[in-house]
Amino acid sequence: MKPSHLEISRRNMMIGSGAVAALATTPADVATAQTIESPSISNVQFTVNGMVRALKLDTRTTLLDALRENLQLTGTKKGCDHGQCGACTVIVAGRRINSCLTLAVMHEGNSITTIEGLGTPAQMHPMQAAFVKHDGYQCGFCTPGQICSAVAVLDEIKAGIPSHVSADLNAKPELTSVELRERMSGNICRCGAYSNIVDAVTEVAGRKA
């Protein structure tokens, strides 16, 4: 039996539906879509490594991308970009954060320290020197985040901030290997230099004690 000339194939029906939808789109709809897609730009100013920096950024720009792409401070690494590896750790207002998880515009007026601000090859920060001495790195990719985190960890302990392994939450935390490993657990080293990192941090902590 031959198909009736009134029958419509599925393909022809979809083509026809698409054409109707296209005709139904008005200039106002197109203008609305263009408005939604346009990025929102904002001015932001913060102090990075002791220098006041003013930027004009897409409001969706992370602090990590602002540091790397806009300020060319590439010491801060983009690892997982999901806050899981710690390679992007920087110190903001005295506290360590994952810069990939925060927007740059959220830090208006803040003081930010990256690995470049801690020391230079000619005049290294004690933590940088300790990492070199104790071979606290192999490929070096995670090292900037490890060092920034380690510096902040010692400040946390000095301030009496407990961790998940602190035996007494009301007592000053003790500088033990277990304590250091817990506090540094957010910084992943795929090369496995953890024991050397603990040795480096312990040495610097001893200097401050």
Same domain for 86 and 149? Answer: no
For 109, the domain range is 39-117
Q: What is the pLDDT of residue 120?
A: 92
For 72, 149, 158, 192, the CA distances from 125, given in Å and listed in that order, are 21, 13, 18, 23
Tell me the residue ranges of DSSP E strands in 3-146.
41-48, 51-58, 89-92, 95-98, 111-113
Same domain for 75 and 99? Answer: yes
Same domain for 159 and 175? Answer: yes
Same domain for 133 and 157? Answer: yes
pLDDT < 50 regions, the chain = 209
> CATH no. for residue 72?
3.10.20.30
Q: What is the pLDDT of residue 209?
A: 42
> CATH no. for residue 193?
1.10.150.120
Q: What is the pLDDT of residue 38?
A: 78
- As for how many domains the chain has, the answer is 2
Q: What is the pLDDT of residue 74?
A: 97
